Structure 1
């Protein structure tokens, strides 16, 4: 004899949870890669002034200072270095420049006399550490 209780709905794949997990993993990987970039910049003699600086119109991953030079550093991680470098589109550059302009206008510590826009790109490596490259003066404010 058949039961009179309602049947359970068919199970559907949890796409939303998968997207959420993917975003969380991407965020955590981004934080980890930015930490690596910070270590590299400190080894090169820079002081990290700001991390993930947000201003109206844009965001900068790291702002570093060495003497009177300020470096606005964009950090990217992809499967290969070329993909990471090509991920910095003119639109991304415009957002970085907008945030940098805001930072320069409101710099309280010392006036900014010279600055540049760098890119540090990371890619999967054979071992635990990724492969990376640092492009100094990668683009200009336009």
Structure 2
């Protein structure tokens, strides 16, 4: 399984920090897709390892994850953005968080949609990341309105 982080130099050089770099993490080979995705999100929120911190960063913080579930082909990642002070983000933080959550979800071929939530609400997530509405990411790089 991969965990995606932004390159630290990209944050300082003006390069696009949304381009995530995948770093391998061990996961139980018997884990199902939901368990693997949850592990990937937890690892992302925990941030890069001590040796990786020289080069990589995460927008998330430990303890932000409320839940991960799969509803058919839809991955629902519910975060508590207040735990990282992200209840209102800059557009750069929003773009990075969105890019990393979609990369985490779409590494699994069973996932076609990724719906982020803020304490149970897709709309609240959209408002927090300046999208203004509930948006669900699609595997093809676009998004569709959510509920």
TM-score by length of 1: 0.38
Bigger CA radius of gyration: 1
